Amino acid sequence: MGKFKIVGGNKLHGSITPQGAKNEAMQVLCACLLTEEKVTITNLPDISDINNLIDILGDMGVCVNRISSDVVELQAKDIDFSYFESEKFTEKATRLRGSVMILGPMLARFGKGYLPKPGGDKIGRRRLDTHIIGLQKLGATFEDGNKCQVATAPSDGLKGTYMLLNEASVTGTANIIMAAVMAQGETTIFNAACEPYIVQLCRMLVSMGAQISGIGSNLLIINGVSKLNGTTHRLLADMIEVGSFIGMAAMTGSELTIKNAGIKDLGLIPDVFKSLGIKMEFRGDDIYIPAQEHYEVETFIDGSILTVADAPWPGFTPDLISIVLVVATQAKGTVLIHQKMFESRLFFVDKLIDMGAQIILCDPHRATVIGLDRTQQLHAVKMASPDIRAGVALLIAALSAKGTSIIENIEQIDRGYQNIDGRLRELGVEIERID
C-alpha cells in the first residue's frame, strides 16, 4: 500500500493541463463493443481505473493497441464468451464500477450481456435498477448466473420503446443509449442524464452511424440502426481535475494557470468556486487564478448562509463536493455543504477536524463549515484516502497544512488522477511517494 508524504505550506507556481475525462473514458471505451471496426480514443488518462477496463476488454477478445499513454486503438471483432464465466472476469469487474457499461453494448450487438457486482468507491448506495429496468423495457431478460447476472435479448433483438428513467443516472443512461442505438425502431428516453460525458458519448455514437436527437437535453430520441462503424474520438478535459486544481490554488494562496480547461463544458463549477470568493479569469480556454491571501464567502441580500449542494447536471457535480468542502475551511464565512446523492461521502471530514478545521457534521448528507480565514493554519496529520475525491480533498488540505502529512491508501487517488505527485512536483509541491 503506497503513501504520499507531503510537506505543506508551499505555494504553487506555473501551469497545469488537466487529463482527459475519466468518466467519459469509461463510457466510450465500452462503446467500442458496438462495432467490429477499429475505434480510436485520444486524450485518454493513464490511470488505474481506465487501464483496468482496457485489460478487461482485452481479456474479452478485443484487440487493443496502446499507441501511446493517451491514445488507444480498439477493435472488437470476436468476443470470448467463456471469459465471462471465469473467476478472472468476476475479480476484475467487481473492482471497477465502470464495468457495468459493458452490458448495454453486448446486449445490442450479441444479444447477451453480463452484469457483475460493481466495485468503485464506497461512498454509499449506488443502485443499478436504472440500468436493469431500462434494458428490460428494451426487451432484455435477466437471470442469476454463477458469478453475475446474465442478460439475454429476445431472439429477434431488442425493441425500441418509451421509458421514463427513475433517476438521471449517468452510467444507467449510457448503458441504455448503447443498447438502444442498435434496437429495432424508436427509443425515447425521458429524464436522461445530460452531463457532458453523455453528450460526448452520443456525439461519438453519431459519428459511428447512430441516429440520436435531443443530445444535451434530458429527452433523447434514438432510431436504431443495424450496424455501426469505427471512429476516432477525443475526450474532454476532466472537469473534476479542473475543480481540484482551482481548489489547490485557493487553499495555498497560489497563482496558477489551468491550460485547456474546456471552459464551455464546466457548467456551474467556476460559479460555485467564485461564490466562495475565489477569483479567476478566463483567457481563451485557460483559467488563470491569481494569488489570494484571503477569499470571502458570498453573502446574500437576505443574510442567508451559502449552501453548496450537488444535483444532476446541469446542477453542481457531486464529485466536487469534497473539494469545495475543504476549500471552504480556509474561507472567510460559513458554508453549508449538502451532499444529496451519497450518504457516506462526507465521512472524511473527521480527518479535516483532526487537522484543525471547524466543521459540524450535521448528518450523513450535510456539513456546516466555519471558515477560518487563514487565522488558524491546518496542521499536518496521518490520514487515509477513503475514496478518489475525498483522497484529493485531503491532499489539498495537506498542501496548505503546517508540517508533514502522510496520506495512506493512495491507490484510491491513483484510480482517478494521472501521475498526480509528478505533476504537482512540477508546480513546486514537496510530495513524495513512499512505501
Active site members: 121
Q: Would you give the DSSP letter of residue 157?
A: -
Question: What b/e sequence results for 354-387 when a residue is b if at least 16 CB atoms lie within 10 Å of its CB, and e otherwise?
Answer: ebbbebeeeeebbbbbebbbbeebbebbebbbbb
Whole-number Å distance between alpha carbons of 343 and 213:
35
What is the rounded end-to-end Cα distance, in angstroms, of the chain?
7
Grid cell listed for 303 = 443574510
> Helices marked H in 227-362 — which ranges?
239-252, 269-275, 321-328, 349-354
332 closest CA partner among 360, 293, 290, 390: 293
Residue pair 248/223 in contact (Cβ under 8 Å)? The answer is: no
Q: Cell digits for 305? A: 448562509
CA distance 4 to 19: 20
Q: Assess contact for 9 and 421: CB atoms under 8 A.
A: no
